[in-house]
Structure 1
């Protein structure tokens, strides 16, 4: 269903996504530890022009340079780290990274392979008041039942003058190519529009410093935003 005013898409389904993201997803997608490692190796060895993550890191670094004047030793909490490719590249670029993922195997893989501080757990249930310069949600908010609550909770972990970085599927543009596109996959509870992402940020207690859209090397249509606490 699509909101006629803000163009936000909402999926109505009865899947239990909590089970998926706490283990079943990794089993179905990567099979085992070797599968996780193999996929990680394949992605980090993609040429820069074919890598979504390389472009993501470059954009964050560029924004950080203009916003803070630099990013070396800046701290980051990456929520929903998955394979750990993004934490790997951020560490490589001089950031101090903490990765959080609900799947134990993913968390162990990140700890062993990427060698950054790793938290295994549901972000809603993790009790931590540690502050970070940057909190990131890369293709996470579309999977959770209450993205506003998740985004709002990140304020507890945000340092003064800190930023939240968000990426979500761009339903505005994807729908023009048809609802068979991956942006409308069954595990996406929400597909955002430019307007609905701004509204989500506002309701969570942020104001958008920047929202922009892009088509990634993987052909995904994506909205990305840098948010600051009100």
Structure 2
């Protein structure tokens, strides 16, 4: 693998890391990958585990979340059958599963973070701590919203997930795209690299090739158009020490325009089915 970029963990530890390019898959790999990642998630700023609403970035994230939930529900409803069974991996504090349940889905969720599971429980949504705790059942839809990049032993985890996917079911994966405009602009300050919590960094080619090895194909993609604004806001802070709202708005808009022209959006939702 070739050296690609040197950067650091801006949100928790300040430690230095490197991204290496897997030229075959066109995927970046974080090095080193700590054996114990738990300390790198132990931060009040890790928003998907805390429901934080303190900083400008937090407030933007929370305001957009309700609209994003509606969009996610609309997407999974496209693939509903009589079963309407859903598994969400990396469920955070459970908001998506609560919304899906309210829309008639039978739901299960996995979330390793104890704090996030406790917050989910407050919303009457019980989550399992690991995939190993799942019952022996298949699901019509399995979702990973910005989760695939966090999974150690990536190939094994994908194989494990697919054992729970019904033959006519779909796997929905949302991940950042390191070939987007905002990634190229912010370089080592791009917040969506989020090392070492993000172990892998995907391109469209990487998703195609990675899942083809498991008998899956991409049947649909769509952009997450709010992501470049949130990511740019954090990236401005990492690069300059301040959250420059209008600069982030400008860069996020340029990223979306570039994405529509090149298909290289800041974050992309992939819908995958069995070949």
Tell whether 2:104 aligns with 1:94. yes
Q: Distance in 2 between matches of 1:204 and 1:185?
A: 27
The count of residues paired between Structure 1 and Structure 2 equals 212
Q: Does 1:143 align with 2:150?
A: yes
Q: 1:160 aligns with which of 151, 163, 167?
A: 167
Q: Deviations over 1:21-52 (max 9, x none)?
A: xxx62x41269xxx93665xx7897367x743
User: What pairs up with 1:41-56 in 2 under 5 angstroms?
Assistant: 46=63, 51-56=67-72
> SS where residue 145 of structure 1 aligns?
coil
Contiguous gaps of at least 5 residues in structure 1: 65-69
Distance 1:155 1:47 in 2: 30
Q: Which residue of 1 aligns with 2:242?
A: none
Whether the aligned pair in 2 keeps the contact of 1:72 and 1:94 (CA below 8 Å) is no
Structure 2 residue aligned with 1:15, among 34, 47, 50?
A: 34
Counterparts in 2 of 1:92 and 1:47: CA distance versus 1, 3 Å: farther
Alignment of 1:176 onto 2:184: yes
Aligned partner of residue 215 in structure 1, secondary structure? coil
Residue 56 of structure 1 deviates from its aligned partner by 2.8
2:31 aligned counterpart, secondary structure = coil
Aligned in 2, Cα 1:212/1:161: closer, same or farther, shift over 3 Å?
same
The structural deviation recorded for 1:4 is: 4.2
Q: Contact between 2:64 and 2:226, CA under 8 Å: does it hold in 1?
A: no
Aligned-CA RMSD value: 3.1
Distance 1:175 1:227, change over 3 A: same
- Give ranges in structure 2 of 5+ residues lacking alignment: 1-19, 54-58, 232-265
Contact 2:228 2:267 in 1 (8 A): no
Q: Is the CA contact (8 Å cut-off) linking 1:155 and 1:229 kept in structure 2?
A: no
* From 101, 115, 132, the counterpart of 2:139: 132
Give the conservation status (yes or no) of the 8 Å contact 2:128–2:134.
no
Query: What secondary structure sits across from 1:171 in the alignment?
Result: coil
Match of 1:223 in 2: 268
Aligned partners of 1:217, 1:58: CA distance in 2, in Å? 18
Question: In structure 1, how many angstroms separate the alpha carbons of the residues matched to 2:272 and 2:205?
Answer: 14
1:204 shift after superposition: 2.6
Task: Please report how far the alpha carbon of residue 86 of structure 1 lies from its aligned counterpart in structure 2 after TM superposition.
Answer: 1.6
TM-score scaled to structure 2, two decimals? 0.66
Tell me if 1:36 matches 2:72: no
Contact 1:170 1:213 in 2 (8 A): no
CA distance in 1, matches of 2:82, 2:93: 23
Residues 222 and 268 in structure 2, CA contact (< 8 A), matched pair in contact too: yes
State the 1:17 CA deviation: 4.4
Asked which structure has the greater CA Rg, the reply is 2
> Once structures 1 and 2 are overlaid, which stretch shifts more, 215-224 or 74-83?
215-224
